[in-house]
Structure 1
Amino acid sequence: MTHDHDLELRPTPAQTEAALNPPPGRTGGDLVVETLAGLGATTVFGLPGQHALGMFDALRRSDLRYVGLRVENNAGFAADAYGRITGEAAPLLLSTGPGALMSLAALQEAAAASAPVLAIGSQVPTAGLGGGRHGYLHELPDQAASFRGVVKSVHPVRTPSQIPSAIAAAWKSALTAPHGPVWVEIPQDVLLARTVIPVVTGMDATPDDLPPRPELTAVAADLLSRAARPAIVAGGGVVRSDASKKLRRLAERLQAPVVTTFGGKGAFPWHHPLSLQSWLEDRHTTDFLEDADVLLVVGSGLGELSSNYHTFRPRGRVIQIEADLGKLESNHPALGIHADARLALQALLETVTERSDPAAPERVREVLAKVAERLDSQELTLEQEVLASVRRALPAHAPSFWDMTILSYWAWSAFDPKAPNTMHSAQGAGGLGYAYPAALGAAVADPTRPVLAVSGDGGALYSVAELATARQHDLDVTWLIVDDGGYGILREYMTDAFGQATATELTRPDFVALAESFGVPGVRTTPETLERDLTEALGSPGPSVVVLPAVLRMFAPTHPS
């Protein structure tokens, strides 16, 4: 008896002929790039290195676009943003030892933010593996061990025939909810080895679905339908799973106010009558969420930033939908539903009963009014005007990337992202230097929109080398650098905690002159001219830099005492 799938596995005569007569001169490196292309990749990021040259040589025989950055960590940030914008696994090609290790901070951010990055690193020759000290350049006793605590999965390769399946397995892992970075490791001699393996023409690495268990969503739907004061916290999982429209429909059906976490910016419309926006570092918002008799948390682990620094104490029932099993009930007891946000929200939409609560929008307005009153009492006009100028200058659907700087901390709470998957920051892991290389990756992913990067002068010094990348690839990224003379947020933290700051003041370059030395136009602006200068820079094709000398202050989460 012949099954249909048996027929599908039979090669055509043309496929058989091609398989029996592969092109001469191919190597393990060719298997890498062929597999990536077969999986649907079109672009790769990275830096070459001695042990990885077999991969990079194979790139010239492929149709993959290579975008090389100047520092491996920055290449990782660029791949992270490419993965966030496209929803595809972003290949990151790295060399052994120092090159590989330089990517760890970027991969930690990708893991914290659930960004699909497919890192492929080289290794010393197979003769040097096994934990000994063989004296190879870049050698580590156990390189993969450095990655196991950071990435979702590790995929070692030891022979050329293992390459396609290992990369396919890693691709599937990166794109199975929760998305995340993965690590593939291939020794130098395997990448250089001649191969007669047929050309890789297509690979199946379909991600696994993560549906909710129906008995759990039935209980959740019953709780939400009978709630007197339901509320919703929407995290980054809603954005990653492209579930924003489903979230809106559920909130409207339940008349449940919605707060978006800093990682979930854009998951819910900013000016919707049920939108509490993102004021998580605010006691009024925290009080409101604590008062909910049923709180639905979707795509968030309610970590430090999402729980107002672990001061949040819910008094009602918590329902938590989370694809990352380790985050389920990790901070608060809940009805834990291990599922992809999109599939779980769809299940709830099919089972909840519509609620009527005409007072819900008024309760939202009251909270937002209290937030506004708190800010007005702290004399923070400069900060609010600067952020408003950025918002007016940035086109509605243009993506923005924010470093760990005071203006970004403001943006987490106060910036209207206008649309899902447009505002991204390094708050997942909290490393400096994210914004600019990530913005470059986003510009590669979608060259039809200008991209904004926002850094402080401290974070900018992590990324200045990538001005060369921006110019080389003519990427449409405007970099706003807020220059306050040092690590501004740490200066505030230390002054508040110890009475004075240490190690926070920085000598820095003339950023405008530095940009121009790379052939990138730069302008020095003021708070009064920021909107005009930023609008002009964003409206001009190619890279640009706008420098704002200003000392900004953070808001306090409560009224001043």
Structure 2
Amino acid sequence: MSGGGLTVGELLPRLLEAYGVDTVFGIPGVHNVELYRGLPATGIRHVTPRHEQGAGFMADGYARVTGKPGVCFTITGPGLTNILTAMGQAYADSVPMLVISSVNRTEHLGAGQGRLHELPSQRAMAAGVAAFSQTILHPVQLAEALARAFALFASARPRPVHLEIPVDVIAQLAGDLAADGLLGAAWPLPGRPAPDPAAVARAAALLRAARSPLMVLGGGAVEAGDVAMALAERLGLPVINTINAKGLIPRGHPLAAGENMAAEPLRHALRDADVVLAVGTEFGETEHYPGPTPLAINGALIRIDLDPEQLVRQFRAAVPMVADARLALSALLAAVESGGASDGAGRAAELRVRMDAQQPAWIAPHRRLMDAIDAALPGAIIVGDSTQPVYAANLFFRPEAARSFFNASTGYGTLGYGLPAAIGAKIAAPARPVVALVGDGGALFTLTELAAAVEARAPVVVILWNNGGYGEIRGYMMDRGIEPIGVDLVVPNFVTLAQGFGCAGRRVTGATDLRAALREAAGRDVPTVLEIDERAGFGE
């Protein structure tokens, strides 16, 4: 079959489908409309958000649930700048995302002639929140650029990739790419990197000799939970998980030690461990809030990560290992038969008791909230914004499975993430209940995406914690003797707004009421907004 009759815009969807892409989040415009010409010839679903930032957050939620890259189409200029915030969140949290934008005609690039949507260099803007950003200047470059992107998603630390195509190149005929095997065909991709056998041997020797070892699991271990727990059980390793690793440790597992590294018991355990095995974590600031309190690791650190630069940040590793988490942990499991004298279950139980004793009183209503979700919607995917219920859940909540709890309070820490990311999660897993935890301040960033959810038949449940403005910042200012300014907002009637978008909506007054409302919401085919007024209290 000859590719001579296909334009670049028509070829692109075929190549995306060849790499397994089944959904694209995007907004068509004059500059990128030729990207849409070829979509009907594929099985790719198109979802239209109401803002490009929403497109990026939807792609992020989709990617975190599936492990596949979320794909976005944007227009030149404002479309690209609108999505940069979402790319920043994905970059910080190592989420695979492919953003494909148009850009001005080739002969107009960098000319500064006041063209529609013109920027001095939108590729340079995107490069700061991407693994790489590339301009496709000729049709033959398209297949190689896509292969480069999907190779990164397959084998390296996953982060956003940006490809921009000038409007004249989008409309060009692709030429006889079939002769080179490029038309509609995915390139063979590299596998995940295996660990260095010498590094495995050194790590295994340290673990066998350890008397008070610990394991720390980060988001980079999300596909290796079973192997990680098998190794922990064999060696008696208490396990600390980061926020992005929630669900890797089974609920009630005797080796579960906790998840807030800012808490004194876990900080001391990390400091005093003779060996720490850290997998896929950057020990980021947002993993040891409140504070943040500096962490110390005095024992030997074994560090496994896909990113070689990450292995030499913050802490000096005795054994740095560039490798896929599953391959590295499997190699370690094969190299050790048993551990030393570590009573892992006993140490983990002691840490849990001490952690429970130090939980702050303010999280009590949020425990009731999370318990209500658990009871009414078992197995739900819970997606959070930067809001008080999420900050609390980060400290104690344990989902049933990996890829079931994530939020924007980590890494980049953006507002407005929760609702659109939950929509992306629901599109990725339509059979599972999906709950968005948002505050009234953050909801106003992206509330219009309720229209996109109705249109996409994505019946997410939105639990909206209303404290009359930016409550967390208000408290932060008051604690520091700063008169609160700019934090008390005009808050709309969210129930009325939800109904105006074609959603269900009502206020709930306590945990019992919330459980009933969640069960009702599970039977609907449109989103449901459940508003909780913090000022009225949230009891049973």
TM interval, short-chain normalised: over 0.9
Distance 2:36 2:328 in 1: 42
Amino acid at match of 1:411: A
CA contact (8 A) 1:457 1:484 kept: yes
3-state DSSP class of the match of 1:325?
coil
Report the CA distance between 1:250 and its aligned residue.
Answer: 0.6
Tell me whether 423-432 or 300-309 shows the greater mean CA deviation: 300-309
1:405 corresponds, among 387, 391, 394, to 387
| 2:128 alignment counterpart | 149
| Alignment correspondent of 2:518 | 534
SS at match of 2:72: strand
Q: Are residues 40 and 258 of structure 1, via their aligned partners in 2, closer, same or farther at CA, if it must alter by over 3 Å? A: same
Aligned to 2:217: 234
- Quote the residue 2:20 is aligned against: 40
1:158/1:222 CA distance change after superposition, 3 Å = same
Deviations 1:487-509 (A, max 9, x none): 12212222222354222111121
Alpha-carbon distance in structure 2 between the residues aligned to 1:107 and 1:57: 26
Work out whether 1:113 is the aligned partner of 2:96.
no
Q: Does 1:276 align with 2:234?
A: no
Alpha carbons 1:153, 1:173 under 8 Å: kept: no
Partner of 2:358: 374
Selected match of 1:211 from 163, 179, 194: 194
* Structure 1 residues 551 and 172: alpha-carbon distance in aligned structure 2, compared to 1, 3 A threshold: farther
Pairwise CA distance, 1:552: 10
Structure 2-normalised TM-score?
A: 0.94
- Find out whether 1:498 has 2:481 as its counterpart: yes
Moved over 6 A (4+): none
CA RMSD in angstroms, aligned pairs only: 1.9
Q: Deviations over 1:457-502 (max 9, x none)?
A: 0111111111111111111211111111111221222222235422
1:497 to 1:327, Cα distance in 2 relative to 1, 3 A: farther
**Secondary structure at 2:120 match in 1:** coil
CA distance in structure 1 between the partners assigned to 2:150 and 2:196 by the alignment:
26
CA distance in 2, matches of 1:428, 1:391: 26
TM-score by length of 1: 0.90
CA–CA distance in structure 1, aligned partners of residues 269 and 483 of structure 2? 35
1:263 to 232, 244, 260: 244
Q: Which of 107-116 and 198-207 deviates more?
A: 198-207
Q: Is 1:313 matched with 2:313?
A: no
Shift of 1:551: 4.7
**In the alignment, is the contact (CA less than 8 A) between 2:423 and 2:453 conserved in 1?**
yes
Q: Does the residue aligned with 1:120 lie in a helix, a strand or coil? A: strand
Distance 1:491 1:390 in 2: 27
Q: Which amino acid aligns with 1:403?
A: D
Is structure 2 residue 266 aligned with structure 1 residue 285? yes
Q: Is the 8 A contact 2:4 2:173 kept in 1?
A: no
| Residue 534 (structure 1) shift | 2.1
Counterpart CA distance in 1 for 2:535 and 2:227 is 41
Aligned counterparts, 1:386-405, within 5 A: 386-396=369-379, 398-405=380-387
Kept after mapping to 1: 8 A contact 2:208/2:336:
yes
Task: Give percent identity, aligned residues only.
Answer: 36
Give SS of 1:247's match.
Answer: helix
How far apart, CA to CA, are the structure 2 residues paired with 1:209 and 1:385?
Answer: 41
Task: Tell me the alpha carbon deviations over residues 133-152 of structure 1, each in whole angstroms, 9 at most, x when there is no partner.
Answer: 12211111111110112111
Change (3 A) 1:274 1:55: same
2:435 to 442, 448, 452: 452
Q: Distance in 2 between matches of 1:372 and 1:552?
A: 27
Letter in 1 for 2:529: V
Q: Deviations over 1:177-223 (max 9, x none)?
A: 21111011100011112344356232114144222212112111111
- Find the counterpart in structure 2 of residue 359 from structure 1: 343
Judged with a 3 Å threshold, the aligned counterparts in structure 2 of structure 1 residues 382 and 62 are, in CA distance, closer, same or farther, namely closer
- What's the counterpart of residue 13 of structure 1? none
Structure 2 distance, partners of 1:325, 1:551, is 48
Change (3 A) 1:285 1:412: same
**Cα pair distance change 1:175/1:272, threshold 3 Å:** same
Offset of residue 357 of structure 1 = 4.8
* Structure 1 spans left out of the alignment, 5+ residues: 1-17, 554-561
Q: Over residues 231-258 of structure 1, what are the superposed CA-to-partner deviations in whole Å (9 max), with x where a residue is unaligned?
A: 011000011xx10000000100110100
**Counterpart of 1:244?**
225
Contact persistence 2:24–2:73 (CA under 8 A): yes
Kept in 2, the 8 Å contact 1:84–1:115? The answer is: yes
- How far apart, in 1, do the equivalents of 2:314 and 2:244 lie? 17
Query: 2:65 aligns to what?
Result: 85
Matched, 1:75 2:55: yes
Q: Is the 8 A contact 1:69 1:75 kept in 2?
A: yes
Query: Compared with structure 1, are the counterparts of its residues 192 and 321 closer, same or farther at alpha carbon in structure 2 (3 Å cutoff)?
Result: same
* Alignment partner, residue 396 of structure 2: 414
Q: CA deviation at 1:70?
A: 0.6
Query: CA, structure 1 residues 552+49, in 2 after alignment: closer, same or farther (shift >3 Å)?
Result: farther
Tell whether 2:310 aligns with 1:327. Answer: yes
Question: In the alignment, which residue of structure 2 is the partner of 1:183?
Answer: 162
Shift of residue 158, structure 1, vs aligned partner: 0.6
- Contact 1:390–1:534 (8 Å) recurs in 2: yes
* Aligned-partner Cα distance in 1 for 2:363–2:305: 36
- Deviation string 1:277-317 (CA, Å, 9 cap, x unpaired) is 31323112211221111011110011112345242112211
CA distance in 2, matches of 1:475, 1:70: 14
Partner letter of residue 147 of structure 1? A
What is the CA–CA distance in structure 1 between the aligned matches of 2:536 and 2:422, rounded to whole Å?
A: 23
Instruction: Report the AA paired with residue 364 of structure 2.
Output: T
Deviation at 1:379, TM superposition (A): 6.1
Cα contact 2:32–2:74 (8 A) shared by 1? yes
